[in-house]
């Protein structure tokens, strides 16, 4: 596994560079928006990646609640953390695009609002992990993750009831997108998913090491106090 | 008290078992204790909470005063004419009640920390969910009482008059209060195990409550202004209540016993 990581990192870097080249140079210019639209390649790919990570977080939390497997807990923690980072990218690139195209930085439209609420839910999850006292954290965090995941459909459904200003989805729902643009978007998504996977991988190893270290330190101090007696 | 009865044999036999036994010193007998009824545990714990609140009136007084302060402070931020109030009152009322409810929710479990009562609950064979339900129902009653007292004041101060069907405010209030309280009671049991627990509860509760809060605010506003129907929001609140009541009941035991 350790040898695989650098290889995968190089692959991801190459893929990201190629995707950047494709999205800035190869992809055609948008008829209405000009070059501004190119931020979509980062915006949408980050959004999909974040959703996948939050999905993994939910599954890992349920697995932890059922099996009490510590690996599942580490995975849930790591995916939530990286997911929040990608969700932040979505929330930052959105206004950057909206300012020239819509003329406003932000509007309380349903997609923007619900993505923002999604971000809030997972930030509160990370806060809980940070503030809770050691031993019980995994169970409490897993319970909160389940609540958060149950909440997401309700959030989307309730906020959807407001009128929307966001451009309609370009994949699925009958929207039209130039095939040249679509393949660049999918390529970017692949590159971003690889990046997310790589970050999660190294973060996972770091977290495991951190826990092992904490355990060893606790054991050592226990032995020391025992020896002093 | 029924709950502690099974954990300490002596008090159990002295307080409650004696009348049926006839002998008067049944703690020597080897008969197994009857299984603990969830319903009786819920009622016993609920009665205890209500009695405690009745004697101290801590939660209800601070909630009332807090929402009164909100009424006054918000009156400075906009001109409380009848038309303006109608647009804003929905949000104002529910935000006031939500913040006030935090006061009651925060002390739900904090009260049980003194003298290790919560640890006693953990080792007792009483079902965890009855304990949770009694806490949730207790908070529900306290917040409903708060709303019953404060709503006339809101109506008076902000000259509110519903242009839509006013009776629909009742299901919104009942379902909305349950939505806040069921999640609040659950998250209070989580935030209890964290550092700075009083700050943690709103941080966990507010993001998850956004759909419910939105439904309460929008439902109330549409009834007050009479322009739209509130049916969708009532249905949404009902769905929210069902989903999170089930989730809380499924997960509470795990959270209570988390060590």
Question: Would you call A168 an interface residue with chain B, using a CB distance cutoff of 8 Å?
Answer: no
DSSP letters spanning B139-161 = HHHHHHHHHHHHHHHHHHHTT--
CB contact under 8 A, B195 and A133: yes
| pLDDT 10s digits, B47-82 | 988 998 899 888 888 889 988 888 888 878 777 676
Residues B117 and B29 reside in one and the same domain: no
Residues B7 and B92 reside in one and the same domain: no
Tell whether the model's pLDDT for residue B126 goes beyond 80.
Answer: yes
Q: Is A224 within the bounds of a domain? A: no
Identify the band that residue B2 occupies on the pLDDT scale cut at 50, 70 and 90. very low
Please provide the distance, in angstroms rounded to a whole number, between the alpha carbons at the two ends of chain A.
44
Q: Which residue has the tokens 């979505």?
A: A90
Residues B14 and B55 reside in one and the same domain: no
Q: How far is the alpha carbon of A135 from chain B, nearest alpha carbon, in Å?
A: 6
| pLDDT 10s digits, A12-69 | 999 999 988 888 888 877 777 778 888 888 898 999 999 999 999 999 999 999 998 8
Question: Would you call A158 an interface residue with chain B, using a CB distance cutoff of 8 Å?
Answer: yes
Q: How far is the alpha carbon of A133 from chain B, nearest alpha carbon, in Å?
A: 6
Residues B43 and B107 reside in one and the same domain: yes
Confidence at residue A168, expressed as pLDDT on a 0 to 100 scale: 53
| pLDDT 10s digits, A99-140 | 888 888 887 777 788 889 999 999 999 999 988 876 788 999
Q: How far is the alpha carbon of A171 from chain B, nearest alpha carbon, in Å?
A: 27
Residues B162 and B130 reside in one and the same domain: yes
Min mean pLDDT across A204-218, B31-45, B201-215 is at B31-45
> Where in the sequence is the domain holding A64, given as residue range(s)?
37-202
Question: Would you call B113 an interface residue with chain A, using a CB distance cutoff of 8 Å?
Answer: no
Residues B59 and B12 reside in one and the same domain: no
What is the DSSP code (8-state) at residue B194?
B
Residues B27 and B103 reside in one and the same domain: no
| CA–CA distance, B154 with A43 (Å, rounded to integer) | 44
Confidence at residue B4, expressed as pLDDT on a 0 to 100 scale: 42
CB contact under 8 A, A157 and B211: yes
Question: Would you call A84 an interface residue with chain B, using a CB distance cutoff of 8 Å?
Answer: no
Residues B12 and B61 reside in one and the same domain: no
Q: How many domains does the structure of chain A reveal?
A: 1
| pLDDT 10s digits, B209-254 | 999 998 999 889 888 888 778 888 899 999 999 999 999 999 998 8
Tell whether the model's pLDDT for residue B7 goes beyond 80.
Answer: no
Residues B20 and B80 reside in one and the same domain: no
pLDDT, average across residues B89-110? 88
Residues B47 and B112 reside in one and the same domain: yes
> Where in the sequence is the domain holding B11, given as residue range(s)?
1-34
Q: Which of residues 117-136 of A touch B (CB under 8 A)?
A: 117, 120-121, 123-124, 127-128, 131-133, 135-136
| Candidate from A117, A140, A150 with C-beta closest to B255 | A140
C-alpha pair distances (Å), A79 with each of A67, A142, A198, B190: 19, 13, 11, 21
Question: Would you call B249 an interface residue with chain A, using a CB distance cutoff of 8 Å?
Answer: no
Q: Which of residues 193-232 of B touch A (CB under 8 A)?
A: 193-196, 200, 203-204, 206-208, 210-211, 214-215, 218, 232
Confidence at residue B259, expressed as pLDDT on a 0 to 100 scale: 65
Q: Which residue has the tokens 């409490």?
A: A140
Please give the residue that has the higher pLDDT: either A90 or B156: A90
Q: Is A197 within the bounds of a domain? A: yes
Please provide the distance, in angstroms rounded to a whole number, between the alpha carbons at the two ends of chain B.
27
Q: Is A215 within the bounds of a domain? A: no
What does pLDDT average to over chain A? 86
Residue B246 structure tokens: 């089930």
CB contact under 8 A, A159 and B186: no
Confidence at residue A166, expressed as pLDDT on a 0 to 100 scale: 53
């Amino acid at each position: 596994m350790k040898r695989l990581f650098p290889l995968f990192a190089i692959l991801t870097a190459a893929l990201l560079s190629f995707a950047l080249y494709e999205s800035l140079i190869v992809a055609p210019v948008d008829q209405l928006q000009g070059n501004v639209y190119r931020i979509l390649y980062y915006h949408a790919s980050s959004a999909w990646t974040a959703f996948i990570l939050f999905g993994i977080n939910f599954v890992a939390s349920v697995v932890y609640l059922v099996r009490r497997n510590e690996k599942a807990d580490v995975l849930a923690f790591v995916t939530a953390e990286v997911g929040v980072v990608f969700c932040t990218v979505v929330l930052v690139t959105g206004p950057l695009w909206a300012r020239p195209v819509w003329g406003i930085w932000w509007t309380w439209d349903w997609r923007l609002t619900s993505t923002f609420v999604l971000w809030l839910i997972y930030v509160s999850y990370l806060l809980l992990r940070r503030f809770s006292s050691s031993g019980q954290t995994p169970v409490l965090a897993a319970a909160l993750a389940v609540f958060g995941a149950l909440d997401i459909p309700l959030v989307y459904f309730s906020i959807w009831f407001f009128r929307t200003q966001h451009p309609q989805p370009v994949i699925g729902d009958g929207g039209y997108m130039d095939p040249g643009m679509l393949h660049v978007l999918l390529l970017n998504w692949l590159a971003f998913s690889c990046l997310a996977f790589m970050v999660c991988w190294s973060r996972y190893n770091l977290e495991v090491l951190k826990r092992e270290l904490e355990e060893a330190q606790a054991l050592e101090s226990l032995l020391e106090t025992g020896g002093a007696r | 008290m029924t709950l502690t009865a099974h954990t300490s044999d002596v008090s159990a036999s002295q307080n409650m078992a004696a009348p049926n036994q006839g002998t008067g010193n049944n703690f020597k007998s080897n008969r197994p204790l009857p299984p603990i009824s969830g319903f009786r545990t819920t009622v016993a714990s609920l009665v205890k909470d209500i009695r405690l609140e009745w004697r101290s009136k801590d939660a209800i007084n601070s909630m009332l005063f807090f929402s009164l302060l909100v009424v006054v402070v918000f009156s400075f931020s906009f001109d409380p004419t009848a038309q303006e109030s109608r647009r804003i009152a929905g949000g104002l009322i529910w935000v006031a009640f939500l913040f006030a409810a935090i006061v009651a929710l925060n002390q739900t479990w904090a009260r049980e920390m003194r003298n290790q009562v919560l640890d006693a609950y953990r080792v007792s064979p009483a079902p965890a969910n009855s304990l949770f339900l009694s806490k949730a129902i207790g908070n529900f009653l306290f917040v409903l009482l708060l709303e019953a007292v404060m709503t006339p004041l809101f109506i008076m101060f902000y000259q509110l008059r519903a242009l839509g069907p006013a009776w629909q405010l009742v299901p919104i209030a009942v379902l909305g209060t349950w939505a806040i309280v069921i999640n609040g009671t659950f998250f209070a049991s989580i935030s209890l195990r964290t550092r700075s627990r009083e700050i943690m509860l709103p941080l966990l509760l507010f993001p998850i409550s956004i759909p419910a809060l939105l439904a309460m605010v929008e439902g109330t506003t549409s009834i007050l202004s009479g322009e739209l129907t509130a049916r969708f929001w009532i249905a949404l609140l009902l769905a929210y209540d069902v989903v999170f009541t089930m989730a809380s009941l499924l997960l509470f035991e795990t959270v209570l016993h988390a060590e």
